[in-house]
Amino acid sequence: MQLYNYFRSSASFRVRIALQIKGLAYDYIPVHLVKGEHQQPAYATLAADALVPTLVTDGGEALSQSMAIIEYLDETHPTPALMPATALDRARVRALAQMVACEIHPINNLRVLKYLVRELKVDEAAKNAWYHHWLRSGLEAFERQLVLLSQERAAQGLAPSVLCWGGTPTLADCCLVPQIFNAQRFKVDLGGLPLTMGAFDACMGLPAFQKAQPSACPDNEA
């Protein structure tokens, strides 16, 4: 397999985590977003949306969109599973994942921030205020959801989850961790989020998450 990705892209980071959890080997192919390499014709012929990541399977098929890629990997390489066993629990995990992938990330990604600065002429302070507001409010909602799920697990006599759901990493953890990395890079206040940050810290204690992080990528510029 080949993964076209950028080391700081949170969507790419999600897929790298999933690949590491599954123990799947892949060729790392960097696509530098800041330099605009994702908009070059060579990449556009592979990825119609000109976004990262793109996964090229062993059979040569190109897959786009991180959430679809991760679910593909989970279906084709089911062990260890990234989704719970029951339909109800899978819905809970998908909801947590989508709080990040559909609510927080889209309005704070690189192309949005560039548009704020280049087209709307927003200054650096205003751009950062935008980023901090939407990321912090999104993580507060995520924390509230974890509280509700924790209460539900307790009512059912289930053990508390240190991770987002259950005792092993799920799609929700794959999405949460890269978003926290971005929050830390932009110096967003992460206080008062004990369950969210507890899940993050637990994930970062696992080798799969450590190996997938930006600092471990061959194109890392840090």
What are the residue boundaries of the structural domains of the chain, listed by start? 2-80, 87-211
Q: Which pLDDT value is given to residue 132?
A: 97
**Structure confidence by residue, pLDDT tens digits, 43-102:** 989 999 999 999 999 999 999 999 999 999 999 999 999 999 999 999 999 999 999 999
| pLDDT > 70: percent of the chain | 100
**222 — pLDDT class (breaks 50, 70, 90):** low
**Structure confidence by residue, pLDDT tens digits, 118-158:** 999 999 999 999 999 999 999 999 999 999 999 999 999 99
Q: Which CATH class is domain 87-211?
A: mainly alpha
Number of H helices, E strands in the chain: 9, 4
Cα gap 170→150, rounded to integer Å: 16
Cα gap 123→12, rounded to integer Å: 28
For the beta carbon of residue 205, count every other beta carbon within 10 angstroms: 10
Q: Say if 2-80 and 87-211 have the same CATH topology.
A: no
Instruction: Identify the CATH assignment for 2-80 out of 3.40.30.10, 3.40.50.300, 3.40.50.720, 3.40.1380.20.
Output: 3.40.30.10
Measured between alpha carbons, how far is residue 44 from residues 14, 33, 119, 141, 148 in Å?
22, 13, 24, 36, 42
Identify which of 94, 193, 203, 98 has the alpha carbon closest to the alpha carbon of residue 146: 193
Amino acid type, 129: A
Q: Is the pLDDT of residue 212 over 70?
A: yes
Q: Report the Cα–Cα distance between both ends of the chain, in Å, rounded.
A: 26
**197 — pLDDT class (breaks 50, 70, 90):** very high
Cα gap 186→131, rounded to integer Å: 8
Strand 54-56 relative to strand 62-64: parallel, antiparallel, unpaired?
A: antiparallel
**221 — pLDDT class (breaks 50, 70, 90):** confident
Find out whether 189 and 129 touch, Cβ atoms under 8 Å.
no
| pLDDT, the chain, mean | 96
The model scores a pTM over 0.75: yes
Question: Span 186-202, mean pLDDT?
Answer: 98
